[in-house]
Chains A and B, each alone.
Chain A
Amino acid sequence: MDEELERDERVYLLGEEVAQYDGAYKISRGLWKKYGDKRIIDTPIAEMGFSGIAVGSAMAGLRPICEFMTFNFAMQAIDQIINSAAKTYYMSAGLLPVPIVFRGPNGNATGVAAQHSQCFAAWYGQCPGLKVLSPWNAEDAKGLLKAAIRDDNPVVFLENELLYGVAFEVSEEAQSKDFVLPIGKAKVERQGTSITLVSHTIYVGHCLDAATILAKDIECEVINLRSIRPLDMEAIEKSVAKTHHLVTVEGGWPQFGVGAEICARIMEGPGFNYLDAPVIRVTGADIPMPYAKILEEHSVPQIKDIISAVKQSLNM
């Protein structure tokens, strides 16, 4: 964000606690000190209002980054995201673009219970006019966020609170101020031949851990979606053509989720003919998120669940 604020004067950040508090999760640490009140704006607790203000400012030539403390609170603002931001370029037949990024943590943290733990990937992923991104590691976070800020369209950027504190190795290339990743392209994080694991955000890490455990007998190919919308089906189909088995892993609820969409599309495309087994979706449990640690742990995919799914798919 610092690099993009420096690069383009029209970029600014607004949200709750982003300025003087350095960000609720410290993501914007140091930015207010560097850029001041004009470009880093603390808002009152008024999501519908400030997201509308952000969208309006984008319509009038600015490039806002609108932070939601979590995407759970963005439900209050979802009308502005969908009806004011996503649809306007189409409704105006190209007269009014809306270059805005909505970002913030998505999905479950730990112990924050039902109202603070929902994954919105499927909800936003359904909407034409939006681009929806879900980074996993530090390179993703940097490259995709810069791409989102530079994109002239509304982008929903789903971060993960649990990943904020995790350090990742970053390549030389990724350290450049112009390191930008393409939107809509998945990445193969681990090559494999036995089975394809497709995931996004923190579960990419879980898949890689599962792959390591299984490595003696099974070579898993792990795909990091990076982009929920557009969804890189080409990458998934290419992998399935090789492995003939597919497991999807996500934290969100099963019904109408990201995995459900992948299943539908695999079935509709060439991938269907390459499958030797039905696609298996590993998802969050179909319940509001409970509080107690043991219950919470059983509400989201664990590494052992991914391993079970792989073995089930391979009939092992």
Chain B
Amino acid sequence: MTSKHAKAFYFSIESLWVAAACASPCVQKCDTHRLDDAPPTKSVLTRDDGLKYYRTMQVIRRMELKADQLYKQKIIRGFCHLYDGQEACAVGIEAGINVTDHLITAYRAHGFAYTRGVPVKEILAELTGRRGGCAKGKGGSMHMYAKNFYGGNGIVGAQVPLGAGVALACKYLGTDQVCAALYGDGAANQGQIFEAYNMASLWKLPCIFICENNKYGMGTSVERASASTEYYKRGDFIPGLRVDGMDILCVKEATKFAADLCRAGKGPIVMELQTYRYHGHSMSDPGVSYRTREEIQEVRSKSDPISLLKDRMLSNNMASVEELKEIDVQVRKEIEEAAQFATTDPEPPLEDLCNHIFYNDVPLEVRGTLPWVKLKSVS
């Protein structure tokens, strides 16, 4: 134990736990499908990790709420699908895989853009359509990318075969990397997902198919969309896990378990994360026509992922209330600064309009809106 940890090291009389530096909280046992093993029911949590997870989830939460605000001010346009409520999924998955692993998701992607390394200011500036955005303002909410993060995809379900393809590349190139291919309960009924399940299983691809089940595909509840709502079993011949998606440690342990399985050549695997989104499907959906405010409030008060982690850390004496409050203050400041950037950075220059059509190619001439308008495109 380092001296850094020793500072916060002390005994709790009631439970005689060696607290603060480290704890092994219990996590819910996952339901399994075609698996003899399951992820561990105790997760080792160090203080440093706990604070990191807390901060990361709080950043995502506040970033999404800021996006909500900017959207209502009409500074963000078009589609905006917010992730607040689901933070434990993104942060837990990232904790369970390596930076060198790969991840792809659908359009509710801002949280993943952050966990995969895109700074908040570049995410917000992409939402506001500025040149400092991570896709230079050309992608928008649904098309953010980073190293080993393949977006941000707008076509429901299309990202799943793509993710299986990334996994194929991992296996082909002889790395021990895995790919997490995410989709929602709505997308889970897409035929191409079953095509991907089949090929991933035939070819034993190191692919973790992760269904973020937030109970609603846009305005349609899971019961109205799926003949079987046991999404972790939908892979049929593929082993599956059903995971409490509001508990970041549960997500982390399940992801690690799944990743280890894939790295051992026993992939693919399906993971269903049971989670919840506070916002509607997108900013144009108030989210209360198909579910009750009571339901939303119930989740907020009983299962909020950030509160759950906070309570855990406090009850295990891993952090103080003041410390966590200080993190909240810092996070708010970070988001404010990022929003400042996102609202003041200029829009992309018109010269950039036709760039990035082709990679590694000679400059080409692109027709504009009029026949005599010949615009230049460079790679």
**Chain A residues near B (Cβ < 8 Å):** 12, 38, 41, 43-44, 46, 48-62, 79-80, 83-84, 88-97, 99, 128-129, 131, 151-153, 230, 268-269
Instruction: Across the interface, name the chain B residue whose C-beta is closest to A154.
Output: B358
Chain B residues within 8 Å of A57, by CB: 165-166, 168-169, 172
B139 within 8 A of A: yes
The 8 A-B pairs at the shortest CB distance, nearest first, are namely A56-B165, A52-B161, A49-B195, A97-B359, A60-B169, A56-B162, A93-B136, A46-B195
Chain B residues within 8 Å of A128, by CB: 357, 366
Question: Contact mask B181-212 → A, CB, 8 Å, 1/0?
Answer: 00000000001101110110011000000000
- Chain A nearest CB: distance from B321 CB in Å? 41
Contact B145 A95 (CB under 8 A): yes
- Chain B nearest CB: distance from A156 CB in Å? 14
Contact A44 B202 (CB under 8 A): yes
Q: How far is the CA of A43 from the CA of B151 in the complex (A)?
A: 26
Chain A residues within 8 Å of B161, by CB: 48-53, 55-56, 80
Query: Contacts A56-B164, A60-B165, A92-B135 hold; do A50 and B172 have CB atoms under 8 A apart?
Result: no
Contact B364 A54 (CB under 8 A): no
B16 within 8 A of A: no
Contact B361 A152 (CB under 8 A): yes
Query: Contacts A84-B153, A91-B138, A153-B359 hold; do A52 and B364 have CB atoms under 8 A apart?
Result: no
Instruction: Across the interface, name the chain A residue whose C-beta is closest to B200.
Output: A53
Instruction: Across the interface, name the chain B residue whose C-beta is closest to A128.
Output: B357
Q: How far is the CA of A158 from the CA of B196 in the complex (A)?
A: 26
Instruction: Across the interface, name the chain B residue whose C-beta is closest to A43.
Output: B199
Known: A60-B165, A80-B161. 12 other contacts (CB 8 A): A48-B161, A49-B192, A52-B158, A53-B196, A55-B161, A56-B162, A56-B164, A62-B172, A92-B151, A92-B356, A97-B359, A153-B358
Chain A residues within 8 Å of B150, by CB: 56, 59-60, 96
Chain B residues within 8 Å of A12, by CB: 172
- Chain B nearest CB: distance from A66 CB in Å? 10
Contact B173 A94 (CB under 8 A): no
For B165, give its contact among A46, A54, A88, A90 (CB under 8 Å). Answer: A54
- Chain B nearest CB: distance from A185 CB in Å? 12
Which of B192, B202, B364 neighbours the largest number of chain A CB atoms within 10 Å of its CB? Answer: B192
Task: Count residues of B near A (Cβ-Cβ below 8 Å).
Answer: 51
Chain B residues within 8 Å of A91, by CB: 135, 138-139, 143, 151
For B198, give its contact among A49, A51, A129, A151 (CB under 8 Å). Answer: A49
Sampled A-B contacts (23; CB under 8 Å): A44-B202, A48-B191, A49-B195, A51-B161, A52-B164, A52-B192, A52-B195, A53-B161, A53-B164, A56-B162, A56-B166, A60-B102, A60-B150, A62-B169, A80-B161, A88-B151, A93-B356, A94-B355, A96-B150, A96-B151, A152-B361, A268-B371, A268-B372
Which of B137, B166, B191, B194 neighbours the largest number of chain A CB atoms within 10 Å of its CB? Answer: B166
Interface residues of B in 320-379 (CB under 8 A from A): 355-361, 364, 366, 371-372, 379
Q: How far is the CA of A82 from the CA of B162 in the complex (A)?
A: 13
Query: Contacts A38-B172, A61-B173, A91-B143 hold; do A55 and B162 have CB atoms under 8 A apart?
Result: yes
Chain A residues within 8 Å of B102, by CB: 60
Q: How far is the CA of A154 from the CA of B179 in the complex (A)?
A: 22
Chain A residues within 8 Å of B151, by CB: 88, 91-92, 96
Q: How far is the CA of A259 from the CA of B104 in the complex (A)?
A: 40
Contact B158 A44 (CB under 8 A): no
Query: Contacts A55-B162, A89-B358, A230-B364 hold; do A48 and B192 have CB atoms under 8 A apart?
Result: yes
B76 within 8 A of A: no
Q: How far is the CA of A49 from the CA of B163 in the complex (A)?
A: 11
Query: Contacts A52-B164, A56-B166, A59-B150 hold; do A94 and B192 have CB atoms under 8 A apart?
Result: no
Q: How far is the CA of A91 from the CA of B155 in the complex (A)?
A: 14
Instruction: Across the interface, name the chain A residue whose C-beta is closest to B372.
Output: A268
Chain B residues within 8 Å of A38, by CB: 172
Contact A46 B199 (CB under 8 A): yes
Contact B162 A59 (CB under 8 A): yes
Chain A residues within 8 Å of B137, by CB: 93
Q: How far is the CA of A60 from the CA of B168 in the complex (A)?
A: 9
B154 within 8 A of A: yes
B170 within 8 A of A: yes
For A84, give its contact among B135, B139, B162, B170 (CB under 8 Å). Answer: B162
Q: How far is the CA of A83 from the CA of B361 in the complex (A)?
A: 21
Q: How far is the CA of A81 from the CA of B168 in the complex (A)?
A: 18
Query: Contacts A83-B158, A96-B145, A152-B361 hold; do A89 and B165 have CB atoms under 8 A apart?
Result: no
For A61, give its contact among B146, B155, B169, B371 (CB under 8 Å). Answer: B169
Chain A residues within 8 Å of B192, by CB: 46, 48-49, 52
B160 within 8 A of A: yes
Q: How far is the CA of A92 from the CA of B359 in the complex (A)?
A: 11
- Chain B nearest CB: distance from A56 CB in Å? 2
Contact A97 B360 (CB under 8 A): yes
- Chain B nearest CB: distance from A59 CB in Å? 5
- Chain B nearest CB: distance from A158 CB in Å? 19
Q: How far is the CA of A93 from the CA of B137 in the complex (A)?
A: 8
Contact B136 A49 (CB under 8 A): no
Instruction: Across the interface, name the chain A residue whose C-beta is closest to B364.
Output: A230
Which of A51, A52, A56 neighbours the largest number of chain B CB atoms within 10 Å of its CB? Answer: A56
Contact B359 A59 (CB under 8 A): no
Q: How far is the CA of A131 from the CA of B357 in the complex (A)?
A: 10
Instruction: Across the interface, name the chain B residue whose C-beta is closest to A183.
Output: B361
Instruction: Across the interface, name the chain A residue whose C-beta is closest to B104.
Output: A56
- Chain B nearest CB: distance from A309 CB in Å? 26
For B357, give its contact among A50, A54, A90 (CB under 8 Å). Answer: A90
Q: How far is the CA of A96 from the CA of B172 in the complex (A)?
A: 19
Q: How far is the CA of A268 from the CA of B370 in the complex (A)?
A: 10
Contact B165 A52 (CB under 8 A): yes
Contact A93 B135 (CB under 8 A): yes
Contact B135 A53 (CB under 8 A): no
Q: How far is the CA of A95 from the CA of B153 in the complex (A)?
A: 14
Contact B361 A44 (CB under 8 A): no
Q: How far is the CA of A116 from the CA of B17 in the complex (A)?
A: 71
